[in-house]
Amino acid sequence: MALALAIETSCDDTAAAVVDSSWRVHSSVVESSIDQHRAFGGVVPELAGRAHLTTIGPVVHRALRDAGLDPRAPAIDVVAVTSGPGLIGSLLIGLSAAKAYALAWDVPFVGVNHLEGHLFAPLLERPDLRWPLVTLLVSGGHSMIVRQHGPGEHVVLGETIDDAAGEAYDKVARWLGLTYPGGPEIDRLAGEGDARALQLPVSMTGDDFDFSFSGLKTAVVRATQKNPEVSLADVAASFQGAVAEQLLRKLRRTLETYDDVQGVALAGGVAANSALRRGVEELARDFAIPSLLPSLSMCTDNAAMIAAAGLHRFAHDGPSEFSLSARPNWSLSEVS
């Protein structure tokens, strides 16, 4: 059985994990620099890069110790690392560290696509799953519907044509004066509000599987200016309702189109959203298939999912060259 150490530094989280080839997670450590970014209303790339540089060593050390390994000479078979997409300065810190560890321990290393990592997150917790799967991958940087025929075999059916779902949450939260990242706060407020308070448009009602969220963000700005008496909770509930409705409509369309699907999964930071989780459970019931909802720590960025994707890539494609560079715009469609 192969044991992987994985490193993830694509955005503001410095993460390391040890996972084996049967997908058992031996350790998973995540250290966030989010507190440094809050005052700026978003992740500041230079601050994120500097934070990774000081945090990466201790985080890897802790992941190895938590897994019961000797940090000086761990019995690791492969080092996996996110090599894109993400912030270039952040990616380079993780990639350099991964190469250094692999060289020092004389083991191969493998570069992993961050989005493919997210697709492995629901799989890690559900060894009983059956294929094919449809996954709604929604994060701060991406929103897409993916059809998976097996681990690492995926086809992107649709994606956002402008903002990502998480980005829309963060921008609306900023407009409402809430702290960054806005998703969790809007989700919490929405629980206390009335989703019918504001009339917001549900975009992209066509037959494709694509999304659009920038018009909704503008609609929230206009509606709140026109109706200043509507409470924050009601605005949050109305916005959350419109986002969930668009995502769930397209997901329903996918399940209607592909009737061989054996499960519907959620992945990415927005997969933590309560309305979306409820909606996907309902959808799964309607289509009599299982829903795969990752635990909250598996939804947001972590290195365990990168380890699982890395073990798969290593087994199928072999190691990466040590000359591998970071790819800030590496799309999932380019990963075969």
Q: For binding to ligand KG4 (CB under 6 A), which residues are involved?
A: 11, 139-141, 166, 169-170, 181-184, 187, 268-270, 272-273, 300-301
- The smaller minimum CB distance to ligand KG4, of residues 78 and 277, is found at 277
Closest distance to ligand KG4 from the beta carbon of 331 (Å):
14
- List the single partner that 166 binds among ligand KG4, Zn ion, none, CB under 5 to 8 Å by kind: ligand KG4
- The smaller minimum CB distance to ligand KG4, of residues 235 and 261, is found at 235
Q: Which helix (H) or strand (E) holds 88?
A: helix 88-105
Closest distance to ligand KG4 from the beta carbon of 156 (Å):
16
Strands 291-292 and 153-159: unpaired
- The smaller minimum CB distance to Zn ion, of residues 159 and 301, is found at 301
- List the single partner that 111 binds among Zn ion, ligand KG4, none, CB under 5 to 8 Å by kind: none
Residue 82 interacting with Zn ion (CB under 5 A):
no
- The smaller minimum CB distance to Zn ion, of residues 137 and 176, is found at 137
CB 115 within 8 A of CB 160: no
- The smaller minimum CB distance to ligand KG4, of residues 11 and 220, is found at 11
Strands (E), the chain: 3-8, 13-20, 25-32, 78-84, 109-113, 133-138, 143-150, 153-159, 263-267, 291-292
Closest distance to ligand KG4 from the beta carbon of 246 (Å):
13
Q: Report the candidate in 90, 17, 105 with the shortest Cα–Cα distance to residue 54.
A: 90
For the purposes of burial, counting CB atoms within 10 Å of the CB of 324, is it exposed (0-12), middle (13-18) or buried (19 or more)? middle
- The smaller minimum CB distance to ligand KG4, of residues 183 and 241, is found at 183
> Which residues share a beta bridge with 291?
264
Residue 139 interacting with Zn ion (CB under 5 A):
yes
- The smaller minimum CB distance to Zn ion, of residues 9 and 240, is found at 9
Task: Give the span between the Cα atoms of 320 and 313, in whole angstroms.
Answer: 9
Helix (H, G, I), strand (E, B) or coil at 91: helix
- List the single partner that 170 binds among ligand KG4, Zn ion, none, CB under 5 to 8 Å by kind: ligand KG4
- The smaller minimum CB distance to ligand KG4, of residues 49 and 269, is found at 269
Tokens 């659009």 belong to which residue?
212
- How many Cα atoms sit within 13 Å of 54 on the Cβ side? 7
- List the single partner that 184 binds among ligand KG4, Zn ion, none, CB under 5 to 8 Å by kind: ligand KG4
Residue 170 interacting with Zn ion (CB under 5 A):
no
Q: Report the candidate in 303, 252, 297, 223 with the shortest Cα–Cα distance to residue 28.
A: 303
Helix (H, G, I), strand (E, B) or coil at 193: coil
User: Which of 301, 313, 330, 335 is close enough to bind Zn ion by CB under 5 A?
Assistant: 301
Closest distance to Zn ion from the beta carbon of 268 (Å):
6
Q: Report the candidate in 153, 114, 112 with the shortest Cα–Cα distance to residue 131.
A: 153
Closest distance to ligand KG4 from the beta carbon of 288 (Å):
27
Closest distance to ligand KG4 from the beta carbon of 275 (Å):
8
Helix (H, G, I), strand (E, B) or coil at 86: coil
Closest distance to ligand KG4 from the beta carbon of 219 (Å):
18
Closest distance to ligand KG4 from the beta carbon of 306 (Å):
12
